[in-house]
């Protein structure tokens, strides 16, 4: 049952809700059907300039020389922006929650790491003049060997994609090259199982393709402030990211957004605002930076491709007794949000099933592909696809109806989850029952009588003995810090807070900025 | 840059303007006239967000040279309302949840209008055909199709 803390949210809403089944007029609909909803690009400002970006034609190359002389003299050009003009030309999005190291420049300086990476920006009177100037920029590239395969990137001698992470994997807690889940002993489980099934799943990157491409317009305001119209899905997140990259206090900016022409996760990366604002700062004029459709595909991040290996041990009676998962998330050339996708993925293992032995290893891998990011359930969607394919195959293997097979293995209230938390408010059995009924899929009477509330706990609440593994060699485990601390970095980091049982403590305040928390996966307990 | 003089009817009103040589109708409408209802989604004829009617016929304004509408009549979503009253298509889109982010809506409505103007009671298949050049990434199309059918039957749901 959802409880609303009335002491805190006294005015929030009536508990006596009667909305379901009744039509409600959405407040933005009139604007949509009359064409008066104002998207970022519907602002027309006096004296507006246009920013376009030169992008890398190589997946991996050293930049030997960038010559903008001729471009600077091109008609209509107001300003050429290079990496050296960006106050803090290295950032990672989740540095706002102190997660990960700064690894992505706004404009490439020494190297380009994927096709489409921005190198030089041109601000001109018209988009056409900006493009003409871009064609006149001369870049001397030294192509480097590139790696496009997640497992290839982990082989010894593979090209280093991103020097911030020389092993081509994101590093968790300063030490770990992947996220692990250990619960019970899968090898023993496989030894006892009647059948073992091992399968391999490969996803593709998926482009969000919002009908409106990413973009923003930044304009000088009074008192040294800037007003920014943006397509972002994450207004304050983008505002803070810009404050960091441009090295100014966040109250320098007045961000206006909220009307987004489709996002689906593809508009959380603060792709255009920093350069648009920098253009406005350097020219004193409003600057518009809108991605074309090709740029949206090449530079705007997709959902990352995932490679997943699943090995399951199952008994003849249908019980899954062991599940071992190894997965690689293709982060592309930079982290953006893939590190977090991996955390979410591991938190989701082994799916909504009670399995006594679970073993998970998930890697966030760098390759010379377009950096990946959030997309609708990222971290979970692809893994769920693989797990549910696997469930069908297992059901087939043991000759049990696939719906009943899920009911048999579904978690129930009181069971122990692989994360050593008790399962509560579970409802998978009921979902399967309703789905079967709607699909007119016959379930045996005994299956129709099962309930998430019954027969959980007991032996299903036990944590099976889990073999210890040697701790990895490396620096002492400490919370990750980025370089985004305005105060001089303390030489000794305070020890991470000891995990406390519920209720969880509020996260420690960050010294430099308001910490944004993405979800309960972070913040309460780290390990 | 060379400018070209241009005159046409915009939603029933005569307009005269100078445009840059080679500029497309989408840019002319948005930047010179200030009619922000046609949207840019691709600039390549792939999405339909920029759809307008030229002499009653459906066109993609991003692929139409502005100069070619000289002396012709251009209609956009901005002219769809009848004074303060919504067009039946607009009412149906509102009632049937036929827009989510709303970015494809101006193009969808113009494509639907082009259909109903020449075929006031289309079949479901004809509606699907009529909006097949318009991409919507949010709604899943079903509510849009239903809204067009509802508008065609004067607001009464059809079998
Ligand atoms: S903007 Fe004209 S079809 Fe996409
Ligand atoms: S409502 Fe978003 S694209 Fe159609």
Do A193 and A219 lie in a common domain?
A: no
| Both structure tokens of B25 | 């109708």
Q: Which of A408, A426, A461 is at the close of a domain?
A: A461
Do A296 and A339 lie in a common domain?
A: no
Task: Output the CA angle A446-A451-A455, nearest 5 degrees.
Answer: 95
Average pLDDT over residues B28-42: 97
Cβ within 8 Å, pair A211-B97: no
Percent of chain A, pLDDT > 90?
83
Reported as a pLDDT band with limits 50, 70 and 90, residue B130 is very high
What's the structural domain count of chain A? 2
Q: How far apart, in whole angstroms, are the C-alpha atoms of residue A453 and residue A411?
A: 10
Q: How far is the CA of A211 from the centre of ligand 2 (A)?
A: 7
Residues of chain B with C-beta less than 8 angstroms from the C-beta of A209 = 137
How far is residue A212 CA from its own chain's centroid?
21
In this structure, is residue A236 part of a structural domain? yes
Among the bound ligands, the one closest to the CA of A211? 2
* Atom in ligand 1 nearest the alpha carbon of residue B50: 2
Run of H or E including A141: strand A138-143
pLDDT, residue A7, reads 74
Q: Which residues of A76-103 are buried (b: 16+ CB within 10 A; e: fewer)?
A: bbbbbbbbebbebbbbbbbbbbbbbbbb
Q: How far apart, in whole angstroms, are the C-alpha atoms of residue A297 and residue A114?
A: 13
Q: CA dist A330 to A366, A415, A433, A454, Å?
A: 6, 33, 36, 41
Average pLDDT over residues A391-399: 98
In this structure, is residue A247 part of a structural domain? yes
In this structure, is residue A416 part of a structural domain? yes
Do A291 and A174 lie in a common domain?
A: no
Reported as a pLDDT band with limits 50, 70 and 90, residue B158 is very low
pLDDT, residue A254, reads 97
- The sheet carrying B73-75 orders its strands as B13-20, B3-10, B73-75, B51-54, B57-60
A512 φ, ψ to 5°? -105, -25
Do A436 and A422 lie in a common domain?
A: yes
In this structure, is residue A145 part of a structural domain? no
Interface of B to A at Cβ within 8 Å reads 1, 20, 22, 30-31, 34, 36-37, 39-44, 46-47, 49, 76-78, 80-81, 86, 90-91, 93-95, 97, 99-106, 109, 135-138
Q: CA dist A165 to A159, A171, A335, Å?
A: 12, 7, 10
Among the bound ligands, the one closest to the CA of B44? 1
Cβ within 8 Å, pair A25-B46: no
Nearest to A211 among B43, B86, B104 (CB): B104
Percent of chain B, pLDDT > 70?
96
pLDDT at A134 over 70: yes
Task: Report ipTM (2 d.p.).
Answer: 0.96
Average pLDDT over residues A435-444: 97
Cβ–Cβ under 8 Å, residues A386 and A345: no
In this structure, is residue A476 part of a structural domain? no
Do A378 and A428 lie in a common domain?
A: yes
Cβ within 8 Å, pair B135-A35: no
Do A356 and A490 lie in a common domain?
A: no
Q: Which domain holds residue A166?
A: 153-206+302-461
| Greater model confidence, A3 or A240 | A240
Q: Chain B: nearest CA to A273, how far in angstroms?
A: 19
In this structure, is residue A43 part of a structural domain? no
- Reported as a single tens digit per residue, the pLDDT across A152-179 is 999 999 999 999 999 999 999 999 999 9
Query: Is any Cβ of chain B less than 8 angstroms from the Cβ of A264?
Result: yes
pLDDT at B119 over 70: yes
Do A198 and A311 lie in a common domain?
A: yes
Q: Is the CB–ligand 2 distance for residue B103 below 6 Å?
A: yes
- Reported as a single tens digit per residue, the pLDDT across B15-30 is 999 998 889 999 999 9
Nearest to B90 among A34, A38, A44 (CB): A34
Q: How far is the CA of B62 from the centre of ligand 1 (A)?
A: 6
Do A314 and A416 lie in a common domain?
A: yes
Q: How far is the CA of B139 from the centre of ligand 2 (A)?
A: 6
Mean pLDDT of chain B: 94
Do A349 and A441 lie in a common domain?
A: yes
Cβ within 8 Å, pair B41-A212: yes
- Reported as a single tens digit per residue, the pLDDT across A179-212 is 999 999 999 999 999 999 999 999 999 999 999 9
Give all domains of chain B, ordered by start, each with its CATH number: 3-79 (3.10.20.30), 88-152 (1.10.150.120)
Q: CA dist A469 to A181, A202, A342, A466, B131, Å?
A: 12, 29, 21, 9, 59
Query: Is any Cβ of chain B less than 8 angstroms from the Cβ of A162?
Result: no
Residues of chain B with C-beta less than 8 angstroms from the C-beta of A211 = 39, 41, 47, 49, 101, 103-104, 135-138
pLDDT, residue A516, reads 38
Q: How far is the CA of B158 from the centre of ligand 2 (A)?
A: 24
Residues of chain A with C-beta less than 8 angstroms from the C-beta of B95 = 23
Mean pLDDT of chain A: 90
Q: Is the CB–ligand 2 distance for residue B139 below 6 Å?
A: yes
In this structure, is residue A5 part of a structural domain? no
Q: How far is the CA of B100 from the centre of ligand 2 (A)?
A: 5
What does DSSP say about strands A320-332 and A138-143: parallel, antiparallel, or unpaired?
unpaired
In chain A, the residue whose alpha carbon lies closest to the alpha carbon of B38 is A35
Do A297 and A311 lie in a common domain?
A: no
Chain A with chain B: Cβ pairs closer than 8 A: 98
Reported as a pLDDT band with limits 50, 70 and 90, residue B154 is confident
Residues of chain B with C-beta less than 8 angstroms from the C-beta of A262 = 100-101, 103, 137-138
Query: Is any Cβ of chain B less than 8 angstroms from the Cβ of A50?
Result: no
pLDDT, residue B76, reads 98
Residues of chain B with C-beta less than 8 angstroms from the C-beta of A23 = 95
Place of tokens 């700064």: A102
Cβ within 8 Å, pair B102-A32: yes
Q: How far is the CA of A218 from the centre of ligand 1 (A)?
A: 24
Do A196 and A317 lie in a common domain?
A: yes
Do A308 and A188 lie in a common domain?
A: yes
Q: How far is the CA of B153 from the centre of ligand 2 (A)?
A: 24
Average pLDDT over residues B76-96: 96
Average pLDDT over residues A239-245: 98
In this structure, is residue A347 part of a structural domain? yes
pLDDT at A138 over 50: yes
Query: Is any Cβ of chain B less than 8 angstroms from the Cβ of A309?
Result: no
Q: How far apart, in whole angstroms, are the C-alpha atoms of residue B31 and residue B18?
A: 11
Give the CATH number for residue A443: 3.30.365.10
pLDDT at A501 over 50: no
């Amino acid at each position: 049952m959802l409880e609303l803390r009335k002491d805190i949210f006294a005015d929030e809403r009536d508990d006596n809700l009667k909305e379901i089944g009744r039509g409600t007029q959405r407040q933005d609909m009139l604007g949509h059907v009359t064409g008066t909803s104002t998207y970022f690009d519907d602002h027309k400002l006096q004296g507006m300039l246009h920013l376009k970006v030169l992008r890398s034609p190589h997946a991996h190359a050293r930049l030997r020389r960038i010559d903008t002389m001729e471009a600077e003299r091109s008609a209509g050009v107001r300003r050429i922006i290079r990496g050296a003009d960006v106050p803090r030309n290295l950032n990672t999005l989740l540095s706002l929650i102190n997660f990960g190291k700064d690894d992505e420049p706004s404009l490439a300086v020494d190297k380009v790491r994927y096709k489409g990476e921005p190198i030089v920006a041109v601000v001109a009177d018209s988009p056409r003049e900006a493009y003409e100037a871009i064609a006149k920029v001369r870049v001397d590239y030294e192509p480097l060997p590139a790696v496009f395969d997640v497992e290839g990137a982990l082989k010894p001698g593979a090209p280093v994609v991103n020097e911030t992470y020389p092993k081509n994997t994101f590093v968790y807690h300063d030490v770990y090259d992947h996220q692990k889940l250990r619960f019970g002993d899968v090898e023993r489980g496989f030894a006892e199982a009647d059948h073992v099934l091992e399968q391999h799943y490969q996803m593709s990157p998926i482009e969000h393709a919002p009908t409106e491409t990413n973009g923003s317009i930044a304009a000088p305001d009074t008192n040294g402030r800037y007003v920014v119209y943006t397509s972002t899905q994450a207004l304050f997140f983008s505002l803070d990211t810009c404050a960091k990259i441009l090295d100014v206090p966040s109250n320098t900016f007045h961000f206006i957004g909220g009307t987004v022409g489709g996002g689906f996760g593809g508009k959380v990366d603060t792709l255009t605002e920093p350069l648009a604002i920098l253009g406005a700062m350097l020219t004193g004029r409003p600057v518009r930076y809108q991605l074309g459709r090709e740029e949206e595909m090449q530079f705007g991040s997709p959902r990352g491709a995932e490679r997943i290996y699943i090995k399951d041990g199952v008994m003849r009676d249908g019980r899954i007794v062991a599940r071992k998962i190894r997965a690689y998330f293709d982060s592309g050339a930079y982290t953006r949000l893939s590190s977090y996708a991996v955390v979410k993925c591991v938190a989701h293992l082994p799916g909504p099933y009670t399995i006594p032995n679970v073993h998970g290893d998930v890697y966030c891998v760098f390759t010379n592909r377009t950096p990946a990011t959030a997309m609708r359930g990222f971290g979970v969607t692809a893994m769920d696809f693989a797990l549910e394919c696997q469930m069908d195959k297992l059901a087939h293997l043991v000759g049990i109806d696939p719906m009943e097979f899920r009911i048999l293995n579904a978690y129930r209230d009181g069971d122990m989850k692989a994360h050593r938390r008790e399962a509560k408010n579970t409802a998978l059995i009921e979902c399967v029952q309703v789905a079967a009924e709607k699909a007119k899929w016959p379930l045996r009477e005994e299956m129709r009588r099962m309930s998430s509330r019954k027969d959980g706990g007991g032996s299903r609440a036990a944590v099976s003995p889990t073999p210890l593994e040697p701790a990895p060699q490396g620096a002492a485990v400490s919370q990750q810090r980025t370089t985004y601390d305005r105060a001089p970095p303390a030489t000794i980091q305070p020890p991470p807070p000891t995990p406390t049982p519920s209720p969880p403590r509020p996260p420690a305040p960050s010294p430099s900025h308001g910490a944004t928390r993405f979800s309960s996966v972070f913040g309460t307990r780290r390990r | 840059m060379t400018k070209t003089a241009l005159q046409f009817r915009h939603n029933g009103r005569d307009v005269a303007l100078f445009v840059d040589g080679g500029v497309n109708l989408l840019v002319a409408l948005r930047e010179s006239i200030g009619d922000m209802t046609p949207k840019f989604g691709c600039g390549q004829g792939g999405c339909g967000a920029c759809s307008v009617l030229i002499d009653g016929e459906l066109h993609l304004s991003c692929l139409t040279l502005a100069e070619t509408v000289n002396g012709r009549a251009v209609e956009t979503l901005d002219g769809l309302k009848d004074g303060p009253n919504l067009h039946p298509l607009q009412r149906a889109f509102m009632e049937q949840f036929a827009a989510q982010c709303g970015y494809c809506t101006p193009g969808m409505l113009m494509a639907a209008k082009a259909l109903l103007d020449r075929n006031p009671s289309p079949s479901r298949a004809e509606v699907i055909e009529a909006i097949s050049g318009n991409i919507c990434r949010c709604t899943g199309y079903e509510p849009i199709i239903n809204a067009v059918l509802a508008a065609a039957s004067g607001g009464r749901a059809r079998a």
